[in-house]
Amino acid sequence: MKTVIQRVSSASVTIDSKVVADIQKGLLVLVGIEDADNQEDIDWLAAKIANIRIFGDENGVMNLSVKESNGDVIVVSQFTLHANTKKGNRPSYIKASKPDVAIPLYESFVKCLEKQLGKKVQTGVFGADMKVSLLNDGPVTILIDSKNKE
């Protein structure tokens, strides 16, 4: 699983002019799923995201997690994170899982993250044409790949 984690002052997801997710301080998590992903990837990634210390403490030092800072989270499916741009100018998405594989993994990831956080996680709608708005705080943007646990 590949993720882009953005610390936000606010974020929202709109589909067909209807807001389906809306948070203030927290994380916007874009997640891309491939066929090789499994529950081990989900568990590791959910724990990493819930506990990564990228929020400021009382001294403004990044020492707090989203959980410790009582932030909220939106998770949005993003198959384009698996774009292969090696040849030509048209990206290939061959590594991105098809919906029959990706949807159960995506739903499991959201549930696992909710368990880690002890609260509801908001989401976009898998496969929908979404308009994602965010006010990146910092900016703080981190890429995490469960296949590259360095």
pLDDT digits (tens, 9 = 90+) for 69-90: 999 999 999 999 999 999 999 9
Radius of gyration from C-alpha coordinates of the chain:
15
Helices (H), 21-136: 39-51, 99-117
14 pLDDT band, cuts 50/70/90, is very high
Write out the DSSP string of 15-27. ETTEEEEEESSEE
Q: Which of 3, 14, 80, 85 is catalytic?
A: 80
120 pLDDT band, cuts 50/70/90, is very high
Q: How far is CA 17 from CA 14, 125, 134, 148, in A?
A: 6, 14, 16, 37
The rounded distance, in Å, linking the Cα atoms of 80 and 33 is: 10
Q: What pLDDT was estimated at residue 149?
A: 82
Is pLDDT at 150 greater than 90 in this prediction? no
Query: pTM of whole model > 0.85?
Result: yes
Q: How far is CA 78 from CA 33, 63, 68, 115, in A?
A: 8, 28, 27, 22
Average pLDDT over residues 47-73: 97
Catalytic (active site) residue 80:
yes
Q: Read off the amino acid at residue 135.
A: L
Element counts in the chain: helices (H) and strands (E) = 2, 8
